[in-house]
């Protein structure tokens, strides 16, 4: 194996359905409230109201997909965390996560919520906040967000 860092992982780049925080163009999909990180970093902290834009090329039956980490430190400080998820302003779901660790979440998206072609906005309202020692409220530690085909 060659030495050096692992290459960034891009999940299904041809579909345009998922943005991984390690994608070279991840910043182009972030509209608000995601903290900067080193290029190629697989994880990024969010604020309490992160927003994303995905350019979808086709819409088949889809799942909303979220890969994040509830760090032990976050769970000890704030307890369970709720993500109120919206797709183009339509409320999808508001799951509460009561465990720490590396987590994936999937939920079926109603037919017609994602256009066959075009931009889709995903927003999440996260509560309660995690307040780290620097005092800046944080929402979650994000790896990837978007859609998967059902």
Contacts of 139 (CB under 8 A, 6+ apart): 33, 45, 46, 47, 48, 49, 50, 81, 124, 126, 129, 130
pLDDT tens for the chain, residues 1 to 150: 445 444 444 444 435 699 999 999 999 999 999 999 998 899 999 999 999 999 988 778 999 999 999 999 999 999 999 999 999 999 998 999 999 999 999 999 998 898 888 899 999 999 999 999 999 999 999 999 999 998
- In this prediction the pTM is 0.87
What was the pLDDT predicted at 11? 43
Q: Which helix (H) or strand (E) holds 64?
A: strand 62-70
Distance CA 96, CA 102 (A): 15
Distance CA 116, CA 139 (A): 31
What was the pLDDT predicted at 8? 45
Measured CA to CA in angstroms, residue 144 lies from 2, 113, 135 at distances of: 26, 20, 25
């Amino acid at each position: 194996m060659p030495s050096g860092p692992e290459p960034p992982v891009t999940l299904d780049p041809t579909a345009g359905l998922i943005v991984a925080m390690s994608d070279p163009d991840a910043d182009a999909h972030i509209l608000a409230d995601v903290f900067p990180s080193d290029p190629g970093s697989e994880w990024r902290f969010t604020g309490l109201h992160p927003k994303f834009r995905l350019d979808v090329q086709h819409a088949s039956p889809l799942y909303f997909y979220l890969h994040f980490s509830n760090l032990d430190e976050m769970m000890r400080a704030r307890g369970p965390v709720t993500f109120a998820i919206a797709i183009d302003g339509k409320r999808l779901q508001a799951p509460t996560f009561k465990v720490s660790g590396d987590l994936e979440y999937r939920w079926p998206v109603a037919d017609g919520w994602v256009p066959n072609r075009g931009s889709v906005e995903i927003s999440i309202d996260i509560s309660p906040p995690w307040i780290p020692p620097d005092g800046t409220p944080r929402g979650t530690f994000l790896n990837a967000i978007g859609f998967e085909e059902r």
